[in-house]
Amino acid sequence: MDNRLLFKISLLISQKLTSLEKNTSIELLERLTKLAEHFRDMTQESRRIALALNRNWLFSAKRCRENLVRILDEIPYKIETIKQISNKDDQEGTPIVSLIFAELTQIRQEFSDADFNSDKRIISVVTKPVTLEDIYLGPFRIELYIDKLSSLYKESPYYCIALEPNPAANNGEVTHPHVSGETLCEGEGYVAIRAALEQGRMYDFFTIVNNILNTYSPDSPYVALDDWFGGADCYDCGSSISEDDSYYCGFCGRVFCSECSSYCRSCEESCCLGCGGHCPNCEEFICKNCLKVCQECGERYCNLCMEDSICETCKEQNETEELENTNETDGKQDNFKMAG
């Protein structure tokens, strides 16, 4: 990046931050309007209470009172947010171009591969490789979209892209315990990041984001580092399993790997090997719900190999016996006839 380009970027950032100031004022106005509407609701509710009392509608008065309490409860929150936005106006105005220029110069000196994409209007830097608790996550490219600075409080203007991604085994979108879908969850850094951007302190912004990427907060990660290589172990063989390879058995309520799991050929439900078995007739894997006991032989068969709670083998046997009995009976009948 030569100085001319840096100056051009500085000018662009300054313009966007001026728009941000305007947008902040618009937001303040919107919130004030909402607060005024809130007070109007309060007045209406108090009129309703008066009306209810005049007509001796005590139950209605009670309902109105409850509504009024709800309205009153929201007022401190609304005032607080308005104060927050108003206080921003107490800070210094839009940073001057020379200050932003100095910041960009500092970025160029301290971050490797600092770059400006003139088409997309992006400033990007590459961090040193990040390793947290001995897990290598690789370097990240922090991309700041200059055009998004004007709507800083509505959407995140930057992304953190893993250059040598080593995502969590359970979720390919999580390339860092605090990065999901290239968006950083800033936690403690939320306010400081916005303040830095708002004041044109671009160097501070990249430093803060870099420091968040180099810090692990075990209390609130997308995926804990302990579970980085697989959130669960197969209940049967104990091997670590990824989200794509984990199968839940609805019968025992446990998670298994693909090797220790199958699906029922009858109902098609996922089922672990322990909660199902092979039908002795067709030899297909069947869950325990679809395996039925044959009333004749007591063996377990799948639905498809059973008819009227009798397995095919027993059925055939019965039919043969029946046929034989019929023949015998026919013989007896003949005998009877003959005797008669």
Partner 1 sequence: MRILFINNAGTGYADHLEIGEGTTVEQFFKIKMPNQNEADYLIRVNRQPVSRDYIIQEGDRVTFTPQKIEGARDNKPVVICAKR
287: left (phi over 0), alpha (psi -120 to 50) or beta: beta
Contacting partner 1 (CB under 8 A), which of 65, 141, 194, 288?
Answer: 194
Token pair 């008819």: residue: 307
Judged by CB under 8 A, the number of residues near partner 1 is 43
The interface mask with partner 1, positions 85-104, x = CB under 8 A, is ------xx---------xx-
Closest approach of Cβ 311 to partner 1, in Å? 54
Q: Which is nearer to partner 1, 212 or 257 (CB)?
A: 212
**Alpha helices for the chain (secondary structure H):** 3-54, 58-90, 97-110, 190-198, 202-213, 312-339
Q: In this structure, how many other beta carbons lie within 10 angstroms of the beta carbon of residue 302?
A: 25
Contacting partner 1 (CB under 8 A), which of 1, 126, 185, 273?
Answer: 185
Sequence-distant (6+) residues with CB within 8 A of 264 are 271, 276, 285, 286, 287, 289, 290
User: Within positions 116 to 175, which residues make up the interface with partner 1, using CB under 8 A?
Assistant: 156
Closest approach of Cβ 36 to partner 1, in Å? 16
Q: Which is nearer to partner 1, 82 or 304 (CB)?
A: 82
Contacting partner 1 (CB under 8 A), which of 212, 290, 291, 310?
Answer: 212
Decide: 206 and 196 in contact? Cβ < 8 Å.
no
Composition of the chain by helix, strand, coil, percent to 5: 50, 20, 30
Contacting partner 1 (CB under 8 A), which of 122, 142, 149, 208?
Answer: 208
Closest approach of Cβ 57 to partner 1, in Å? 30
Contacting partner 1 (CB under 8 A), which of 115, 182, 186, 233?
Answer: 186
Closest approach of Cβ 306 to partner 1, in Å? 51
Rounded Cα distance between 292 and 286, Å, is 10
Q: In this structure, how many other beta carbons lie within 10 angstroms of the beta carbon of residue 219?
A: 7
Indicate the SS3 state at residue 126: strand
Q: Is 199 in the site for partner 1 (CB under 8 A)?
A: yes
Q: State in Å, rounded, how far the first CA of the chain is from the last one.
A: 120
Q: Is 81 in the site for partner 1 (CB under 8 A)?
A: yes
Question: What interhelical angle do 202-213 and 190-198 show, nearest 10?
Answer: 160
Q: Is 80 in the site for partner 1 (CB under 8 A)?
A: yes
Q: What secondary structure letter does DSSP report for 128? A: P
Q: Which is nearer to partner 1, 28 or 304 (CB)?
A: 28
Stretch that binds partner 1, among 17-25, 201-209, 240-248, 313-321 (CB under 8 A): 201-209
Q: Give the residues lining the site for partner 1 (CB under 8 A).
A: 74, 77, 80-81, 84, 91-92, 102-103, 106, 156, 177-178, 183-196, 199, 201, 203-204, 207-208, 211-215, 217, 219-222
